A and B are shown apart, each in its own frame.
Chain A
Amino acid sequence: MRQKKQLTKKEVSQVAKLAKLIIRSSEIKKFQKQLFQVLNYVAILKEVNTSGVEPTSQVTGLENVFREDEIGPSLTQEEALSGTKNKEKGMFKIKAIFN
């Protein structure tokens, strides 16, 4: 796998950006090491012969669990808005997306 002992600063920053996480510059080194340790450990899976093996994404075997396309009870607008103070005229208020 990797010949080094930690991820690069760039790798950690990129992954943090994808996941919308803020990593302070004082923390980056710690995560470079810790993430590498885990990723290095899990690389043991390379030993396993998995040719022709179907991946398992769920263990119930259930498929196509549907319901009738009927409207049922839901949260009221008030309930839906009850978790935040940032709201106006029955809508959530967030930072602007467009300039």
Chain B
Amino acid sequence: MNLAELTIEEAQEGFKKRRFSSVELVKSCLERIKKLDSKIHAFITVCEKEALEQAKEADKLIKQLNSRSLLGIPIAVKDIFCTKGIRTTAGSKVLENYAPVYDSTVVKKLKESGAVIIGKTNLDAWAHGSSGENSDFFPTKNPWNLEYVPGGSSSGSAAAVAADMAIGAIGSDTAGSIRLPASFCNLVGLKPTYGRVSRYGVVAMASSLDTMGSLTKRVKDAAIILKVIAGKDFYDSTTVEKKVPDYLKSLKKGIKGLKIGVPKEYFVEGMNSKVREKIEEAIKVLKTLGGKIFEVSLPHTKYAIAAYYIIQPSEVSSNLARYDGIRYGFPRDKFGDEAKRRIMIGTFALSSGYYEAYYLKAMQVRTLIKKDFEEVFKKVEILVAPVSPTPPFKLGEKTSDPLKMYLSDILTATANLAGIPSLAIPCGFVDNLPVGFQILGPHFSEEILFRVGYHYEEETFWYKEKPKIL
């Protein structure tokens, strides 16, 4: 068996039983990268030298029975997370030559847990995108079919894990940027509760919406990574004091009697009928596992994208103001079209004369969207919904119409507006392309999400499917 095909849990087992070393595992992934990445373009920077050094160190510690949770595991990191001394571009020509002088907290925690950072993955520049096509460097292809997008903005992270070029990956989700690529690539994508994971050292997109999370082959791996990266951070004052639980503890407790809501507004008009079928099948599986299904309503869902595409660009226009080319990076003439669009929309929405009609209004609608969830969670414990109204689309299909691309986020933006967690899980294939569904819960309910996802996974085994390219 090719070591690169392993999950985090399987790799940990293998290390424990001395079946293989971290160096062998990392070499296996690097071989995969050499073989496939010229076609897939998942990576902007491959850290071959550093990764092998880290793997050697990990092997020493493994021999000493060191029990750090990600020891020796090769993880890919979205190129929006600062890595000390290693180029961090945020997918943009503005930062093409930028090497941070510090690590983001998430990267620091990964290193402290023994992870091997195998490379920095491609993304839509500044995380502005839903397909990976807005990268200033090159578009990433979907390993399941190279003519299709892997989803964005964590496009490279998804493609890397789906093609076994890394055992797991870190991404960011501001309106679906983990969940959409995870679903388009047959992976588990976790968007934690806002404030659960530190945003320090991550190139900021929309500070009240950005959430750091993971893309993995299986649910257990997502739980393992969350335990490592979650927690209050001195450097990010929007992280919460709440204790980080052992996410693996209640994983196998079953879901008998669990009240599951299906929000009717998420089955949007024009939704692909085959995708709808897959979601309905997934809901049936949850029912056979003992879940109690209820139809619920989130009445302000249809306003979410509009609210999001005012709030997010407004925050983007502020966050991207710091890129002046003085202390690092290139000047502002290097911004791509999408960045310019979002900065201008935001500047417009915040400008005098328009602030009340746009930004203030959007923030009020945000309150209503948040309240919808609060009301619904009084009646049910979790929600189940599609991630995308369509299966993965072809490269170039939406690039000439920015608004059409924005509507890809229609089912995912709500979780970020409300700050709630969502776990995207594979639920099958439509025309040989992966489809996923999402499990949403109240703030800090990740344990329940993992439990539901785990049992669904153990009933359906979609993770056993592999792209033909491999």
Contact = CB atoms under 8 A, between A and B. Distances in A.
B309 interface: yes
Interface string B310-342: 100000010001001011110011010100110
B402 A38 contact: yes
Contacts of A16: 340, 344
Contacts of B461: none
B237 A62 contact: yes
A62 B195 contact: yes
Interface size range of chain A in the complex: 35 or more
Interface in B410-434: 417-419
A59 B370 contact: yes
Interface in A30-76: 31, 34-35, 37-39, 41-48, 50, 53-60, 62, 65, 67, 75
Interface residues of B, number: 56
Given A79-B101, A84-B326, A84-B328, A50 B348 contact: no
B354 to A, nearest CB: 9
Interface string A1-26: 00000000001100110111111000
B345 A60 contact: no
Given A35-B341, A56-B367, A65-B237, A20 B329 contact: no
Contacts of B418: 59
A54 B367 CA distance: 7
B195 A41 contact: no
Given A18-B351, A65-B237, A42 B309 contact: yes
Residue of A34, A42, A44 ringed by the most chain B CB atoms within 10 A: A42
Contacts of A65: 237-238
Contact of B345 (A38, A84, A92): A38
A86 interface: yes
Contacts, number: 140
A57 B98 CA distance: 31
A34 B341 contact: yes
A56 B418 CA distance: 9
B341 A58 contact: no
B208 interface: yes
B402 A84 contact: no
B365 interface: yes
Contacts of A37: 402-403
A96 interface: no
Contact of A50 (B305, B310, B341, B364): B364
Contact of B344 (A15, A54, A56, A57): A15
A43 to B, nearest CB: 8
A75 B102 contact: yes
A31 B326 contact: no
Contacts of B328: 83-84
B300 interface: yes
Nearest to B420: A59
Contacts of B406: 38
A99 interface: no
Interface string B250-283: 0000000000000000000000000000000000
Contact of B238 (A45, A46, A58): A58
B326 A55 contact: no
A56 B363 CA distance: 5
B351 A48 contact: no
B344 A35 contact: yes
A94 interface: yes
A55 B341 CA distance: 25
B360 A55 contact: yes
A41 B309 contact: yes
B365 A62 contact: no
Given A60-B238, A62-B240, A44 B303 contact: yes
Contacts of A59: 194-195, 208, 370, 418-419, 443
B333 A38 contact: no
A25 to B, nearest CB: 14
Contacts of B68: none
Nearest to A64: B237
B82 to A, nearest CB: 12
18 contacts: A20-B332, A35-B348, A37-B403, A38-B406, A41-B306, A46-B361, A47-B303, A48-B365, A50-B361, A50-B364, A54-B364, A55-B360, A57-B363, A83-B98, A83-B101, A83-B329, A84-B328, A94-B326
Interface of B: 98-99, 101-102, 194-195, 208, 234, 237-238, 240, 300, 302-303, 305-307, 309-310, 317, 321, 324, 326-329, 332-333, 335, 337, 340-341, 343-345, 347-348, 351, 358, 360-368, 370, 402-403, 406, 417-419, 443
The 7 closest A-B pairs by CB, nearest first: A83-B328, A59-B419, A55-B363, A50-B364, A65-B237, A42-B306, A79-B101
Interface of A: 11-12, 15-16, 18-23, 27, 31, 34-35, 37-39, 41-48, 50, 53-60, 62, 65, 67, 75, 79-80, 82-84, 86, 92, 94
